[in-house]
Amino acid sequence: MLSKGNVKTHIVDWLKGLKNPTTLDSYAKPTLLRPPPLIILPQEHNPNIIKAHIPDLTRSYQALPNGLKDVLENNRTWANTKSLREIKFFENLNDKGQEPKLFWIGCSDSRVVPETITQLGFGQIFVHRNIANQFNANDFNCMSELEFAVHNIKVEHIIVCGHTKCVGVMSACNDHLRPNLKAWLSDIRRVKDKHPELFPDHVTEANMSQSEKDKLHRKLVEINVSNQVSKIASHEVVQEAWRDKKRKLAIHGWIFNMKNGYLEDIGITIGR
């Protein structure tokens, strides 16, 4: 644990270590390996920013494993950079509400980050994510978000977004799934009754090329997205909104293609 004197020494050493503390360029490159760099600004410029750059040296912070310290340090670097570039950014974020036009229902997969792949910013997209982008009317989480998005925020578009290489979809019919996951993916498991050709047995699968497997998987991902779009469109929450003739609301089915990063509209948009 750092004593008061050591904290001062630590900060002084840090300041000495900066090659060019006044340029934005050297500051704007977040790193996982270094503590967030400091920028020395004239006190009259913005005293709060100088305060914000002092690293958190509390005991709880020091006790964190390095991987988590990196996360907090990256956050501090991002927040400070944002403040410098857009002086009122956090003031606006704090004071103004949100008015997103899009409600996104996507997979929890860490490779499919809606804000990144759509390049939408803060306040522009309302997000619900779960394994294999399911819409489940028995799930209070999903249902409360749908109600909030449609009736409170009054979004104009609901997007169900699946993705290629979705492990949730691929493993839905694995009999060795743990019980909660097995129940959660039951909607996809039911697809097997209508489309048994999409679920080859192990012998058949062993004789298939990778591209043949990818085609089957892609088809299953599309059917899954299409099913969720249909369920949302027929739900009372959406039906109620559509009874208002002036209300703009449409539901779309998209797929994120990991091969090229493109979002693909699979052509199943449902409006009033």
Active site residues: 107, 109, 111, 163, 166
Residue among 82 and 217 whose Cβ is closer to Zn ion: 217
Is 161 marked within a binding site? Answer: no
Given the complex with Zn ion, which of 36 and 106 has the nearer CB atom?
Answer: 106
> What does the alpha-carbon distance between residue 232 and residue 202 come to, in Å, rounded to a whole number?
34
Is 173 annotated in some ligand binding site?
A: no
**Element containing residue 256 per DSSP (H, E):** strand 250-256
Are β-strands 250-256 and 125-130 bridged in parallel, bridged antiparallel, or unpaired?
A: unpaired
Q: How many CB atoms lie within 10 A of CB 55?
A: 17
Q: Binding of Zn ion at residue 114 (CB under 5 A)? A: no
3-state secondary structure of 104: strand
Q: Give the C-alpha separation, 148 to 154, whole Å.
A: 8
Among 9-17, 26-34, 43-51, 160-168, the segment contacting Zn ion (CB under 5 A): 160-168
Q: What minimum distance in Å lies between the beta carbon of 142 and Zn ion?
A: 16
Minimum distance between the CB of residue 109 and Zn ion, rounded to whole angstroms? 4
With respect to Zn ion, which residue has the nearer C-beta, 81 or 133?
133
Q: How many residues bind Zn ion (CB under 5 A)?
A: 4
- Asked whether position 225 contacts Zn ion by CB under 5 A, the answer is no
H/E stretch holding 226 reads helix 210-234
Stretch touching Zn ion by CB under 5 A, among 16-24, 61-69, 103-111, 152-160: 103-111
Q: Is 107 in the site for Zn ion (CB under 5 A)?
A: yes
Question: Is 166 a residue that touches Zn ion (CB under 5 A)?
Answer: yes
State in angstroms the smallest separation of the CB of 37 from Zn ion.
Answer: 36
**What minimum distance in Å lies between the beta carbon of 35 and Zn ion?**
35
The CA dihedral of 24, 25, 26, 28, to the nearest 10 degrees, is: 80
CA distances from 268 to 88, 154, 161, 235, 250 (A): 41, 21, 12, 17, 10
Choose the binding region for Zn ion from 5-13, 67-75, 99-107, 236-244 (rule: CB under 5 A).
99-107
Rounded to whole angstroms, how far apart are CA atoms 51 and 94? 19
- Residue 21 Cβ vs Zn ion, minimum distance, rounded to whole Å: 43
Q: Is 73 in the site for Zn ion (CB under 5 A)?
A: no
Only one of the segments 8-16, 106-114, 185-193, 199-207 lies at the binding site for Zn ion (rule: CB under 5 A); that segment is 106-114
Cα–Cα nearest to 104, from 138, 145, 136, 139: 145
Nearest CB to Zn ion, comparing residues 76 and 163: 163
Indicate which single residue of 36, 37, 114, 168 sits in contact with Zn ion (rule: CB under 5 A).
168
Q: Retrieve residue 145's tokens.
A: 């978000």
The length of the chain, given as a count of residues: 272
Strand partners, 91: none
With respect to Zn ion, which residue has the nearer C-beta, 155 or 225?
225
**Backbone phi, then psi, for 22, in 5-degree steps?**
-105, -5
Phi then psi for residue 173, to 5 deg, are: -100, 15
Which segments are annotated as binding site for Zn(2+)? 107, 109, 163, 166
Contacts to Zn ion by CB under 5 A: 107, 109, 166, 168
